[in-house]
Structure 1
Amino acid sequence: MSRTDSGAATHVGRRPNNEDSYCQRSDLGLFAVADGLGGHEGGEVASQLVLRTVADFLSAQQGQQVPGTPSEGEPANGPESLIVQAVRQAHQEVRAQQSGKLSMMASTITAVLLRDGEAVVCNLGDSRTFLVRGGVLRRLTRDHTVLAEMEEAGLDTKNPFAAMHRNSLTGAVGMEASVEIECKHVSLQAGDVLVLCSDGLYEPVPPAVMVPLLEQGGSAQEMAERLVAEAYNRGGTDNITGIVVRIL
């Protein structure tokens, strides 16, 4: 497992409560951010439930893992298979508790599972993971939103419909009867920085601002706090959450 320095920060922003959650489990090589939806109570419950279920699943599997490779023939206990199974279980947990005030709850997730110098990066919804290497930021995840689907289809996104639905999700944990999380494998090297965050962070802090903030240095915790503070100072109204993982 890669040696890392990680840090996380969250802020309620200008909302009445914080529906974001984060998970830092360096013992599992797991880092994840979840942004809940479904009302005042539902979003908070959903994001916490998703990350707790994923972490518990991976913890239960620890010691039974073998190194996975980015191929269709990856073993059932390879890292990609494990994180996919974990999110599917979280999906079932959320669905099982959708009643009353929690009937509309669901959550995004962006997660990184580190194994042997490689990251399996997974995403469902519009929380994102970025890689910063040599001063260049690369986005590793694809949003599951109406706007993103319109962009991919080459449709006009400067009309009122697109503006109205720019943050409307087309996928989230617990949102549909089935769930398909997207994963990719990324080779890592010393000096790389991974940033996992909710939309409350990356919307007010674009890459041109994010990279210089990270390059100010310090610990991963200081970097995470710096990013979250900048998002709030730039007028961010949503909940703001970020994890920074430095590869040593």
Structure 2
Amino acid sequence: MPLPLTYEFCARTDTGRVRSNNEDSVAVSRDARMVIVADGMGGYNAGEVASVMAVQILNRELRNRLVAAGGAADGELVREMLATGVERANAAIYQAAKAHAHYAGMGTTLVAGLFGDERVIIGHIGDSRAYLLRGRRLSRLTRDHTWLQEQVDKGVMTPQQAQRSGMRSLLTRAIGVDPRVRLEINEFPVQDADLFLFCSDGLTDSIDDAELAILLRDPLPLPRLAERLIQQGNALGGRDNISVLLVRAIEPGAAAPGDPG
């Protein structure tokens, strides 16, 4: 019987070249095998407050339970834990926005990955994304919760037209803006050498999926690859905060790409 996969993690976040503060928040819990990217929104520093709250609450709600459950935990149990954690984050952010006038309207996107021995459960809200590079093929694992994505789904716009549109920030779902939250959860199998990218829209607003695929195929160590993605996003304008979180699945005993072994 093959040994369970192990995982290598790397997270980077950057303010970009236009914004004065970073409203993205990222987190990696290696022992729980959990990753989170949140992209806040709202006036003043409210977006930063919302994204930090979401990450902190999810970490608090899930980390110890995931460690105790282990990588072979029942998928339905993991989904339930994730959904409950997001509901609690939503309630806390929504109440904080109502209680403090300078936080009014704040909210955050979210994409989270919970890795098991041979699968990953991904929950997302908004337009922060998850991708999988398997071999040389890049697949997008999340569907944006945006007005533009709805137009593409209806056939009103092509993906290329949506990529060029000036209305890309119109979200149809976010954490903290309504009393109830709609989290989308999906499960995917994981294979040796799979490379996962979790990112905020500061990266994907600048770099399309075709260029992302080219960048991710470079067999660099994860820290260098993360820095390269951020550098490219900034080179193309850096109009928003850019967050990149990379996860590579590794068969026990195998060397990671870029590792001399």
**1:177 aligned partner:** 179
Aligned partners of 1:131 and 1:138 also within 8 Å: yes
* C-alpha deviation, 1:64, in angstroms: 4.9
2: CA distance between counterparts of 1:208 and 1:64? 37
1: CA distance between counterparts of 2:168 and 2:231? 24
Match status 1:56 vs 2:63: no
Determine which of 207, 231, 244 is the counterpart of 1:242: 244
- CA RMSD, Structure 1 to Structure 2 (Å): 2.1
* Count of equivalent residues: 240
2: CA distance between counterparts of 1:156 and 1:19? 30
* C-alpha deviation, 1:60, in angstroms: 4.0
Match status 1:95 vs 2:94: yes
Determine which of 211, 214, 217 is the counterpart of 1:215: 217
Aligned partners of 1:193 and 1:247 also within 8 Å: yes
* C-alpha deviation, 1:207, in angstroms: 2.3
- TM-score, normalisation: structure 1: 0.90
* Secondary structure of 2:45 counterpart: helix
- CA-to-aligned-CA distance 1:93-145 (integer Å, 9 cap, x gap): 10121122111110000110011210001110000000000111000001111
Residue pairs, 1:1-248, within 5 angstroms:
2-13=5-16, 14-62=18-66, 63-64=68-69, 67-69=73-75, 74=76, 78-98=77-97, 99-156=100-157, 163=165, 165-248=167-250
1: CA distance between counterparts of 2:156 and 2:144? 16
* Structure 2: segments with no counterpart, 5+ residues: 251-261
* C-alpha deviation, 1:208, in angstroms: 2.2
Comparing 5-14 with 208-217, which one deviates more in the overlay? 208-217
* Secondary structure of 1:39 counterpart: coil
Which amino acid in 2 is paired with 1:236? G
Shift of the 64–189 alpha-carbon distance from structure 1 to 2, 3 Å rule, reads closer
Aligned partners of 1:23 and 1:51 also within 8 Å: yes
* C-alpha deviation, 1:187, in angstroms: 0.2
1: CA distance between counterparts of 2:69 and 2:9? 25
- CA-to-aligned-CA distance 1:155-207 (integer Å, 9 cap, x gap): 35799xx9453321110011112001001100000110000001100121222
Instruction: Give runs of ≥4 in structure 1 deviating > 4 Å.
Output: 156-159
Aligned partners of 2:29 and 2:63 also within 8 Å: no
* C-alpha deviation, 1:23, in angstroms: 0.8
Which amino acid in 2 is paired with 1:32? I
Aligned partners of 1:43 and 1:106 also within 8 Å: yes
* Secondary structure of 1:218 counterpart: coil
User: Identity of paired residues, percent?
Assistant: 32
Aligned partners of 1:4 and 1:247 also within 8 Å: yes
